Structure 1
């Protein structure tokens, strides 16, 4: 999720950022309408935008049922990356070659990166979601789990409506309010939307050129470094100090090379580039060096497993070999992961919510406990670690 564009944020009253969530839904909608009028929107425009707004229980169920992100990397990546999806990606690359060439010239972003997002978000535009976008955003803004993320998007959608680029009754998309082939939030469309096909409209649902150029512009804004790598599979030596692994630790490529890390295919990147060593399923599983552009992926999605899979699939679409899966130790099931998080909390570690998801804070806590216990500090939790704790 991204922040509201500065131009739009400036026109909203300070109360919008700290407004209340919860309470009666229709009363909440009335408050949104009042605040929109106070922010300078015409009353008739506001009334038309919010007319018929309803709470969508399907959205709330979807928000609380994201169990797929609990899957380990190997299982998750094999589920998302099929030969058919790879084949169609290569076909899309050829069919939209001129657009990808334009992206590469303008932003220095490889086509594999956009193709991977296009594939994972909507299966190359084949399924873009059937949730009413306005209702989804208002529902999530009303819900008190993450209102600070979704409330600004309601007003971004209102801004799009005022510009004639959003139909509150007919615009549909994902349950979390993303729209179009690469699933962009209303604020992203306002700030980064591109009319790449020259028809006078930014049509992210029907125009691949508009969707891909808009996605590229957003990635560039988020910090993508032109013509630089993002992820590379590597082989690590048996005696490597694994406590240096993880997204929060970086060494130069030259330092990793001196420690015995080698590229599994081709050569390592520029020796001066900083890189993190990623061991998504421990030292017995796949290993990757993640370069600065990899960090930009987290601005698109916060799930480590999703981000790593998207970055890896981009490599595959660019011709890289299938990763070496190795023989990683078996991970923990949902109940065991929650038990582990509780034990880590009891030892003073901040793991965030006890949700059964192996997120960045849980990985960091696992790594510290592995070091304390004299285990390989690869941040991959196992039944043995759970028992020792």
Structure 2
């Protein structure tokens, strides 16, 4: 599953260079020619540049995949049930035992709890079994040539070139996800350069074939992104029926002690006192409820989808023994067409909902919550047919 697109901005910082002609578009061969010239200007040997780009081809399948991410339109309950199975839980716990020494090392050096990395490992590649069969170099070049997000993907090409010069990337044979991520936990070339760890001591960083390399590298990357050692990330909670729903959402925060004074209770264990936290209702006040601690926000540096992030964080808890969440009985949500209609109506009212894509993202959630308040409805940020009808 594509991830870490939000961190591509990091790549631009890691690999800075002046802008050159033909940043995107135009003939593909001309675009590749400009990339080669830029690579030489960056200091790469012409012979290495020629070898790296020798097999460069445009991949129509990459562009199709980039435009077909409908799975993120599913609501949390459906999405999490699709991704989490007892088989995946059992496999994760087995992998935790197999690589116990590696997870101990990750926890000691980077402060990342094993459930967190196991969940990413499961969702990204089914514990390494499905790593993607797109040619990575061609995927990156194709996405950089496409003028939707060239500034995000162009730096990754030069990062891959550097990995090639290190002997850790084969432009003709290295494969991965359609968005250019490589290996068991799906890391982009610039992230590998910055955070790659030789976990098995063989002198190379092979994220495709070495679980120790992949897990150690993923742990280092999360640590670099701001993960706070020995702190929780997500916890299921119960809320009183008279709770002020307008206080929920990632755009609202209070200490866990303050939430407790308002009647918030942990479904298992107790809240972690003193930490800033937010109350999340992925499907409104009648569905599951969670409290999100600072580490939860680090997840968005790995993947920007709210549904994916929440599911990954919840699955990490399950792998460490948490109970199945209480799904409740959420109000009926909106279909794809209805969600797009809602987004258009909100945009017409002056709200910034971003792209009209049918996805309940952060901007749309905030707009829904605000308009619910104005209309005198429970402001739980969950759009329903009743809200759409009122608009």
Smaller-chain TM-score bracket: over 0.9
Aligned residue number for residue 56 of structure 2: 53
Contact 2:12 2:155 (8 Å CA) reproduced: no
Find the residue that maps to 1:99 and give its secondary structure. helix
Aligned residue number for residue 303 of structure 1: 305
Of 319, 325, 335, which aligns to 1:317?
Answer: 319
Contact 2:237 2:265 (8 Å CA) reproduced: yes
Return the alpha-carbon distance in structure 1 between the equivalents of residues 305 and 157 of structure 2: 24
- Give the gaps of 5 or more residues in structure 2: none
Find the residue that maps to 1:41 and give its secondary structure. coil
The CA RMSD over aligned residues, in Å, is 1.1
Of 200, 220, 240, which aligns to 1:237?
Answer: 240
Question: Is 1:68 equivalent to 2:71 in the alignment?
Answer: yes
1:6 CA displacement:
7.7
Question: Is 1:367 equivalent to 2:369 in the alignment?
Answer: yes
Q: How does 1:266-277 map to 2 (within 5 A)?
A: 266-269=269-272, 271-277=273-279
Give the 3 Å change call, closer, same or farther, for CA 144–6 of structure 1 in structure 2: closer
Q: How does 1:136-155 map to 2 (within 5 A)?
A: 136-155=139-158
Of 176, 200, 208, which aligns to 2:211?
Answer: 208
Give the 3 Å change call, closer, same or farther, for CA 8–381 of structure 1 in structure 2: closer
Give the 3 Å change call, closer, same or farther, for CA 152–293 of structure 1 in structure 2: same
Return the alpha-carbon distance in structure 1 between the equivalents of residues 34 and 22 of structure 2: 9
Q: How does 1:204-353 map to 2 (within 5 A)?
A: 204-269=207-272, 271-353=273-355
Return the alpha-carbon distance in structure 1 between the equivalents of residues 94 and 62 of structure 2: 33
Find the residue that maps to 1:330 and give its secondary structure. coil
1:145 CA displacement:
1.1
Return the alpha-carbon distance in structure 1 between the equivalents of residues 270 and 35 of structure 2: 55
Question: Is 1:95 equivalent to 2:98 in the alignment?
Answer: yes
Contact 2:234 2:314 (8 Å CA) reproduced: yes
Find the residue that maps to 1:189 and give its secondary structure. helix
- Give the gaps of 5 or more residues in structure 1: none
Of 156, 165, 172, which aligns to 1:169?
Answer: 172
Aligned residue number for residue 9 of structure 1: 15
Return the alpha-carbon distance in structure 2 between the equivalents of residues 24 and 333 of structure 1: 39
Contact 2:22 2:34 (8 Å CA) reproduced: no
Give the 3 Å change call, closer, same or farther, for CA 193–235 of structure 1 in structure 2: same
1:52 CA displacement:
2.1
Contact 1:188 1:218 (8 Å CA) reproduced: yes
Aligned residue number for residue 35 of structure 1: 38
Contact 2:11 2:156 (8 Å CA) reproduced: no
Give CA-to-partner distance per residue, 1:17-53, whole Å, 9 cap, x none.
x852111111111111111111111111111100121
Aligned residue number for residue 84 of structure 1: 87
Return the alpha-carbon distance in structure 2 between the equivalents of residues 305 and 5 of structure 1: 25
Give CA-to-partner distance per residue, 1:243-293, whole Å, 9 cap, x none.
111111111001100000000011111x21000100000000000000000
Aligned structure 1 segments of 4 or more residues deviating by more than 6 angstroms: none
TM-score (norm 2): 0.97
Q: How many residue pairs are counted as aligned between the two chains?
A: 385
Find the residue that maps to 1:15 and give its secondary structure. coil
Contact 2:107 2:114 (8 Å CA) reproduced: yes
Give CA-to-partner distance per residue, 1:157-199, whole Å, 9 cap, x none.
0111111111000000000000000000000000000001111
Give CA-to-partner distance per residue, 1:201-249, whole Å, 9 cap, x none.
1111111111000000000000000010000000011111111111111
Find the residue that maps to 1:324 and give its secondary structure. coil
Give CA-to-partner distance per residue, 1:38-95, whole Å, 9 cap, x none.
1111111111100121110000010000000000000000000001000100100011
1:9 CA displacement:
1.8
Question: Is 1:130 equivalent to 2:133 in the alignment?
Answer: yes
Question: Is 1:115 equivalent to 2:118 in the alignment?
Answer: yes
Give CA-to-partner distance per residue, 1:291-338, whole Å, 9 cap, x none.
000000000000000000000000000100000000000100100000
Find the residue that maps to 2:228 and give its secondary structure. coil
